Structure 1
């Protein structure tokens, strides 16, 4: 390679570097839901995604947890159970209309759903909403597909779709990992995709309900 050829390649590389940096996606920025946005949930048409209540970190999921054996999974702790029950009371106090309820098959999500909506509530357990933690890229594909589908499908006015699942599923679907267990995330479904509106941390409910 001649010096002239090398210099030309170097110039081309330097020219391309700014464009390469511009294409790098920015980190996700969490937005807290405002009271005005919260009131709009009464009108329906939203997807409400909740991360399960607080769990016991000293009892992690086994490498291959069994859906029907809660001893193989990280469970809710007492604080998480109270958290889920409090969120349920807040939803009822706000009179937010909930239509279909989709739940991950994990024990902590199914128990959270019972505490939020009551044991008699009709929930739809979707195996593909299983936590994507420790899954391979290939294993994550149906999880991401199911999550995206439920977040994107239109919802009729006067109704809201509720999904109770896991933070890693959102992270793999849209790059957002709600760090606080019990976080509720609001989306507007758009058919072929979805729009992020904002998040409700567990300690925000009293202020939103004022």
Structure 2
């Protein structure tokens, strides 16, 4: 019984700070010049099937209905918080494009190959792609918030933070040419 009370107290101590972290991150997105790296919404599985082709969505791992609902909810959260989206960049994978379209509208997303999936690629290629993606982010000046819909491995490589499906990591340039992680958001 004592162990349960200690565990419950520990969980209660952590929960408010987690909510504060998310609230602060949403607040930062409302300020011009913010960046959010979103992992695509739920697409069951890992990686892509053997022989997948970038130009053929039927050969890729795609969003399921819960993923589509997550993407719509994410867009609703941006709109309800009146976050001005300045640009939406996506990888060229169908699941990132669909997440972006459902959340932000068909006219918003633009492909940026620097955010293509790194899953299964050799380390040297991943490092070069991460450096290229970071340069894209560091050039962002606004107006509004830059939304990047990409993949979990890419977010981890750029921020050292994991992101579950539909989650985002909020960043801001720090004035010294680096990107500061400000928090995380979820649908």
Q: Does 1:139 align with 2:125?
A: yes
Q: Does 1:182 align with 2:166?
A: yes
Query: Of 20, 27, 51, which residue of structure 2 is paired with 1:39?
Result: 27
Which of the two has greater strand per residue?
A: 2
Question: Residues 3-22 of structure 1 correspond to what in structure 2 (within 5 A)?
Answer: none
Distance 1:33 1:150 in 2: 25
Query: Of 135, 144, 148, which residue of structure 2 is paired with 1:163?
Result: 148
Q: CA RMSD in A?
A: 2.2
Q: Does 1:196 align with 2:184?
A: no
Counterpart in the other structure of 2:14: none
- Normalising to structure 2: TM-score of the pair? 0.81
Conservation of the 8 A alpha-carbon contact between 1:53 and 1:112: yes
Q: Does 1:77 align with 2:64?
A: yes
Distance 2:140 2:116 in 1: 23
Distance 1:47 1:176 in 2: 15
Distance 2:140 2:101 in 1: 25
Distance 1:177 1:150, change over 3 A: same
Q: Once the two structures are superposed, what CA deviation does each residue of 1:55-74 show, in whole Å capped at 9, x if it has no partner?
A: 122x8503453211112211
Conservation of the 8 A alpha-carbon contact between 1:151 and 1:193: no
* 1:54 counterpart SS class: coil
Distance 1:38 1:166 in 2: 20
Larger radius of gyration: 1
Distance 1:41 1:172, change over 3 A: closer
* 1:99 counterpart SS class: strand
Distance 1:60 1:185, change over 3 A: closer
Distance 2:25 2:124 in 1: 37
| Alpha-carbon distance, 1:129 to partner | 1.2
Give the total of aligned pairs: 169
| Alpha-carbon distance, 1:170 to partner | 1.8
Distance 1:148 1:85 in 2: 27
Distance 1:100 1:47 in 2: 10
Conservation of the 8 A alpha-carbon contact between 1:153 and 1:190: no
Conservation of the 8 A alpha-carbon contact between 2:84 and 2:145: yes
